[in-house]
Structure formats: C-alpha cells, structure tokens
Chains A and B, each alone.
Chain A
C-alpha cells in the first residue's frame, strides 16, 4: 500500500511565477491536510479538505494561495506569484476518516519549494 505521494519533491521558481504542488493520499483516504514547514520551525497547518470540499482553510494566507481536492485526481496546493518568503517545505497528510476514530495522520515526504 503506497504511502502519501507528493510531487514534485523539489521545485524551483522565480519570483512572480506559479507553483503547483500535488498530493495523492493513501488508498482509501478521503481526508487531506496541507502543512507548511519553514526552515528550522515546526509545521503549520494550512488547509483541510475532503473530496470536492474545503473544510477548514484558516491557516491559508488570504492571497495567492489556494487548494483543491477534486473528485478525481490528486489534491493540489497552488501558490500564485511566489515570493521568497514562500520558500518552505510543504507537507501533505491524509487520513481514512476522522482522526478520533482512526488514530493516525499519515504524512508525505514533502515538496520543497525554493523561490529565487
């Protein structure tokens, strides 16, 4: 059973370009979370999605960032007009259902964005 798959693993963008990060949850998982990890810091929650629905986006910056989890295909985190401060590791996590019932959130290996 493959784990949470994220791609690309590394992405380099110039200021003003767009970055698209993809996440395929574990098989059978319908809950997806995105977290951001700045250098030498802990992970910060960004958004929680279920299929075709954004459940909680309280951690998302108000501008330039968006996320989706379509009925078919991976979840996508999109960053428009990237700035140097967006350089970070972006982690996707998935769960089968609500954590209270299943007990575990599985993380991918992350996508590391570098903005030049």
Chain B
C-alpha cells in the first residue's frame, strides 16, 4: 500500500516533443506529490510538486496533472530538449509521525532520452 508505481521505465522523445511519465499510488493518505530530476552521478533535485487540492500545476515547460479519484498523477514535459535527458522520479508522502512530508516514497524512475 506504500508503493508508488511509475511508468514507463524508459522513454525516448525527439527534441520539441512532449514527454509524459505516469505514476499511480495506493495509499490515500498521501497528500504531497513531488517530481525529482536526477542526472548521472548527482542527487535528485526537486522539479515540481503538487498537493491534491488542485488538478494541475504548471511551471514553465513542466506540468503535473493529478487525478485524485484514480490515484494517479503524471508529469508532462513540453517542448522537450536534449538537456532534459535525465532520470525522473515521482514520489509521494504525507504528514505522519512527525516526519511531515520528508519521508518520501519514490517510484522506480524513468530514464528520459531526448534526441536532438
């Protein structure tokens, strides 16, 4: 019930295309959903995050869509660029036991490759 399932495992997109990564969760107590970007040899960096009181959040070329009833959320990268090539992780957490959202449950990751 604590799992977050992410798909696809890998994704190849042409420059200028749209990259879409999907995640699904089971635990309805989750109420914070961030996306992280990780380059090889580096730590994850927060890209964008959403809470379930909104269905969509957009920051630049990155958009999170959230479907509370389906327990799914997705990341859309518009006008994908070669510099976006990285591993993307969705995550989920909740304010429980005093950890207040820092205890993240991560998806398995999606390796995105954007061809020039």
Interface residues of A (CB under 8 A from B): 4, 31, 33, 35, 40-45, 48, 55-56, 59, 91, 93, 95, 98-100, 103-110
Q: Which of B11-19, B54-62, B70-78, B105-113 is found at the contact surface with chain A?
A: B105-113
> How far apart are the CA atoms of A33 and B108 in the complex, in Å?
19
Task: Please tell me if the beta carbons of B108 and A56 are within 8 angstroms of each other in the complex.
Answer: no
Closest to A55 in B: B98
> How far apart are the CA atoms of A46 and B104 in the complex, in Å?
10
Task: Please tell me if the beta carbons of A41 and B103 are within 8 angstroms of each other in the complex.
Answer: no
Task: Determine which of B43, B102, B108 lies in contact with A48 in the assembled complex, contact meaning CB atoms within 8 Å.
Answer: B102
Task: Please tell me if the beta carbons of A33 and B44 are within 8 angstroms of each other in the complex.
Answer: no
Task: Please tell me if the beta carbons of A4 and B32 are within 8 angstroms of each other in the complex.
Answer: no
- Nearest chain B CB to A98 CB, angstrom units: 4
Task: Please tell me if the beta carbons of B100 and A100 are within 8 angstroms of each other in the complex.
Answer: yes
Task: Please tell me if the beta carbons of A93 and B106 are within 8 angstroms of each other in the complex.
Answer: no
Task: Please tell me if the beta carbons of B108 and A42 are within 8 angstroms of each other in the complex.
Answer: yes
Task: Please tell me if the beta carbons of B101 and A107 are within 8 angstroms of each other in the complex.
Answer: no
Q: List 28 A-B contacts (CB under 8 A).
A: A33-B102, A33-B103, A35-B106, A40-B109, A42-B4, A42-B6, A42-B108, A43-B44, A43-B104, A44-B106, A45-B103, A45-B105, A56-B97, A56-B99, A91-B44, A93-B102, A98-B102, A99-B32, A99-B100, A100-B32, A100-B100, A100-B101, A104-B46, A105-B104, A107-B36, A109-B41, A109-B42, A109-B43
> How far apart are the CA atoms of A31 and B104 in the complex, in Å?
14
Closest to B45 in A: A107
Specify which of A33, A42, A56, A99 lies most central, judged by the most chain B CB atoms within 10 Å of its CB.
Answer: A42
